[in-house]
Amino acid sequence: MNSFEWMMALRYVFSKKRITLIGIISKISITGVTVGVAALIVVLSVFNGFSALVEGLLKGVDPDIRIEASDKRYLAEEDSVLFSVLKEIPEISLVSRFAEGKALLTHDNENQVAWVHGVEDSLFNRMTRLDDHLVMGKSRFRSETGEKGILVGIGLSDKLSAIEGATIAAISPVGLDKVFTQMQTPRTRRFEVTGVFSVQRVYDVGFAYASFEDVQDLFQLPGKMSGVELRLIPGADAGKIKEILSEKLGKGYWVQTWYDLRREMYSIMKLEKWGAYLILALIIIIAAFNIVGTLTMTVLEKRRDIGVLMAMGTSRQQIYRIFLKQGLIVGFSGVLIGSLLGYGVVFLQMTTGFYQIPNSQSFLVDAFPVSVEWVDFLATTAMALLLTSVSAIYPARLASSLDPVEAIRYE
């Protein structure tokens, strides 16, 4: 009898004997679900693609794990406790000391406050991977004439009007209180711009990179460091390593993963993605309301058929399930077609990049990046099937509550 229920439900949805208003509305309902599912898949894939692009860019610059003093003060450059713990963890492939502070950078009467990040020279290219993001110059901390070198973001370069070869002054906030009380000049060091990079706006405007020793000198940190940065072996879980380090090092150290360093940015990207999900879900919600109307009209049109079926021995529960399955068929058809359409578009974009980004010459990629995640597929299909199934409950109850005698009497 289960096959009978499916046969009747399919007949009501896809009957070709005659074209009726209800048949047209049924197809419109399927189209609504199809469009909603396809739009959700495409848009969520684009959000995934941009998130993966940004994450890849930032992970190429940010370390896998950063360790600093929990009180935000400086650590000893040769912290025996810290380095002894790091040696015990085989997943750590690279350890680099760093020094960091805010300084006022000036050039040709242009000023900009930025973070100056000092990395060990010999480890710099393996730790930050800025070579892939240079738009001018080279990633080195000594100029051809032996002067102190500095790498600046393209936004910072633009604000200071300083390109490769320009000499900029970095003014340290250390000892500024003595400038007015003891009439001393602020601590200033000159750097030659050896390279300009472009990663992401936060970095491009607010960051500069220099030698670890030069940054120590700029901020008067003899024998001290801001902390250490770690690179892990491929496949290592930064979150688990963070837990191990936090437990071994204790409360005196602050351990952060690459995600923790830019948590707000990653959280905003996720919020935007699921905000778009909820907005586009309105298409499927509207289609679900359309299904309610379609099935209700079907019940009214098929009163005589329902009465005959009941008179022949079909139970009310079976009538209920017939119309419930009709809603499932509409929902599943829309989900199937929408999934094929959506993933077809995503596949074409991944392989051919047919949809280009306007003015892409000023961006890092030419075409919209896309990426597929199974979580999105499950969230989209589950929501569509749930809404279409729920939308069939009221018409199904209406059909099962009909009195067969009354349904047949006036037909």
pLDDT at 4: 75
Residue with tokens 């003015």: 359
What's the pTM value of the predicted model, to 2 decimals?
0.78
Q: Is there a contact between 269 and 47 (Cβ–Cβ < 8 Å)?
A: yes
pLDDT at 227: 94
pLDDT at 230: 95
How far is it, in rounded angstroms, from Cα 190 to Cα 209?
Answer: 13
Q: 115-148 burial, b for 16+ CB within 10 Å, e for fewer?
A: ebbbbbbebbeebbbbeebbebbebebebeeeeb
Output the six-digit token pair for 130: 């800025």
Q: How would you write 162-192 as a 3-class SS string?
A: CCCCCEEEEECCCCCHHHHHCCCCCCEEEEE
pLDDT at 99: 95
Alpha helices in 63-160, H assignment, sequence order: 80-87, 124-128, 154-160
Please report the DSSP string for 215-261 in residue order: HHHHTT-TTEESEEEEEEPTT--HHHHHHHHHHHH-TTEEEEEHHHH
As beta bridge partners, residue 360 has none
In terms of phi and psi (left: phi > 0; alpha: psi -120 to 50; beta: otherwise), the region of 175 is left
Amino acid at 313: G
Amino acid at 184: Q
pLDDT at 297: 83
Residue with tokens 């005959």: 308
How far is it, in rounded angstroms, from Cα 71 to Cα 373?
Answer: 39
Give, for all 411 residues of the chain, the pLDDT tens digit: 467 777 877 777 776 555 566 667 778 888 889 999 999 999 999 999 988 888 888 888 889 999 999 887 899 998 889 999 999 999 999 999 999 999 999 998 899 999 999 999 888 888 888 888 888 998 889 988 888 999 999 999 999 999 999 999 999 887 665 555 555 677 889 999 999 998 888 888 989 999 999 999 999 999 999 999 999 999 899 999 999 999 999 888 999 999 999 888 888 888 999 899 999 888 888 888 888 888 888 788 778 878 888 888 888 888 888 888 888 888 888 889 999 999 999 999 998 888 887 765 556 677 888 998 888 888 898 898 888 888 888 888 888 888 776 667 655
Output the six-digit token pair for 312: 């022949």
- Return the number of other C-beta atoms located less than 10 Å from residue 167's C-beta: 15
Of 118, 166, 157, 103, the residue nearest 134 (C-alpha)? 157
Q: 260-294 burial, b for 16+ CB within 10 Å, e for fewer?
A: bbbeebbeebeeebeebbeebbebbbebbebbbeb
**64: burial class by Cβ within 10 Å (0-12, 13-18, 19+)?**
buried
Q: Phi/psi of residue 410, each to 5°?
A: -100, 10
How far is it, in rounded angstroms, from Cα 233 to Cα 92?
Answer: 6
